[in-house]
Amino acid sequence: MNILLIDDDNTIAFALKQALAGTHVIDHANAGLAAVKRLTGHDYDAILLDLGLPDMTGLEVCQRLRANGVTAPILVISGEAAVLRKIALLDAGANDYLTKPFSLGEMKARLRVLGRQVVPTRPQPQHLVIGDLSLDGLSHEVQRAGQIVLLRRKEFLILECLMQNAGTVVSRQALMHFAWQDDQDPWTNTIDVHIKYLRDKIDRPFGKQLITTVHGVGYKIDAPTVSNRVTRALALH
């Protein structure tokens, strides 16, 4: 894995580079702004983020990276174990949180998990059409067979994710990350409940099922044809 380590402690950075050298390629940035600049035009498999930076807080770094479109998973490493701090960072776009002191083996295990995650992203609003079902990412309007279907925000996002990945199974974890932007779910059947609501609105009234369950894996939409028209939107800075 190619990893960017963001840490102002050069001694720790050197030690981590040595410890992970056999399986990982580590680049190092010793400040938040330097990391943001390095991530412009560079792709990494994961980001290790220490919160004790001289110029920006870890929360600001997470927010800046996600706002700039960086999708690499972020593993926060910190000596602070406060639950509210963890929640704030997860909400800002971090994927995992490792509290110091930790073992090297645990860090490697968490990096392996992050490396296995393939998470759909929302780069731009799109107009998606699958059969008689259409979704407009700009107006947040969904139609089936010419009839407007009213969806709650999470239902809309789950449907958008399925339509963007039509023909491919999308895991519950990936749907959770796409719609909630974190992997923490206090209710294990949240996605299943929202899928039921979606089917009640876009499948059952029209007599033809689009959303299918792949047991033990996730959900997908099968369609004979899929057309996407990307609608460009103004970038928010």
CATH number at residue 146: 1.10.10.10
Give yes or no: residues 102 and 173 share one domain: no
pLDDT, the chain, mean? 81
Length, in residues, of the chain = 237
Give yes or no: residues 138 and 110 share one domain: no
Which residue in 124, 156, 120, 121 sits closest to 231, CA to CA? 124
Other Cβ atoms closer than 10 A to 79? 10
> Quick check: is 9 in a domain?
yes
What is the rounded CA–CA span in Å between residue 161 and residue 140?
A: 13
Q: What is the pLDDT of residue 75?
A: 92
Of the three residues 90, 116, 142, the one that is the final residue of a domain is 116
Structure token digits, residue 4 = 């960017």
Q: What is the number of domains present in the chain?
A: 2
CATH number at residue 36: 3.40.50.2300
> Quick check: is 147 in a domain?
yes
| Helix axes 190-198 and 172-180, enclosed angle (nearest 10) | 80
What is the rounded CA–CA span in Å between residue 71 and residue 105?
A: 25
- pLDDT < 50 regions, the chain: 118, 120-121, 183-186, 225-237
Q: What is the pLDDT of residue 187?
A: 52
Give yes or no: residues 144 and 108 share one domain: no
Give yes or no: residues 26 and 77 share one domain: yes
Of the three residues 116, 135, 151, the one that is the final residue of a domain is 116
Structural domain including 11 reads 2-116
Radius of gyration of the chain, Cα coordinates, nearest whole angstrom: 20
pLDDT tens column, 146-197: 999 999 888 998 999 899 888 888 888 788 878 876 544 445 578 888 999 9
pLDDT tens column, 164-174: 888 888 888 78
Give yes or no: residues 109 and 137 share one domain: no
> Quick check: is 236 in a domain?
no
State percent of the chain over pLDDT 70.
86
Give yes or no: residues 175 and 136 share one domain: yes
- pTM exceeds 0.75, yes or no: no
Of the three residues 55, 87, 116, the one that is the final residue of a domain is 116
Q: What is the pLDDT of residue 28?
A: 92
**Contact 89/59 with Cβ under 8 angstroms?**
yes
> Quick check: is 88 in a domain?
yes
Q: Which residues are within 8 A (CB) of 228 and not within 5 positions of it... i.e. 6 or more apart? A: 126, 127, 128, 129, 164
